[in-house]
Amino acid sequence: MTGTGLPPSSRTVLNLLDISGSMTHKELVQRSNLAPRTVRYALKRLKENHLIIEKFNFKDARQIIYQSRSAPAAATA
């Protein structure tokens, strides 16, 4: 899926999710070198455009796992 019409931060986050499969907000902040607020905004835009999936994190219920819809379904460790 292409990220046309999305801000650069959303394209960066989507690219990371395409490569890695799934990540938490904290992992996305660390890997992208973007501010936490910027990553939240990027995730919001991606969710509005139905480009990502939110999953429940069984290891830590306080965190959500984000996955790209175009990424192959991988087991979350």
Q: What is the pTM of this model?
A: 0.81
Query: Is 27 domain-assigned?
Result: yes
**pLDDT tens figures, 8-48:** 999 999 999 999 889 999 999 999 999 999 999 999 999 99
Predicted local confidence at residue 5, as pLDDT: 84
Q: Shortest CA distance to 70 belongs to which of 58, 44, 52, 48? A: 52
Residue 57 lies in a domain: yes
In CATH, what number is assigned to the domain containing residue 53? 1.10.10.10
State the pLDDT at residue 3.
53
**Structural domain total, the chain:** 1
- State the residue range of the domain holding 30: 8-68
d(CA 51, CA 71): 10
Exposure class string for 18-52: b at 16+ Cβ within 10 A, else e: beebbbbbebbbebbebeeebbbbbbebbeeeebb
The per-residue pLDDT for 39 is 97
* Closest of 46, 72, 7 to residue 64, by C-alpha: 46
Residue 2 within a domain: no
Is 46 inside a domain boundary? Answer: yes
CA–centroid distance for 12 within its chain: 9
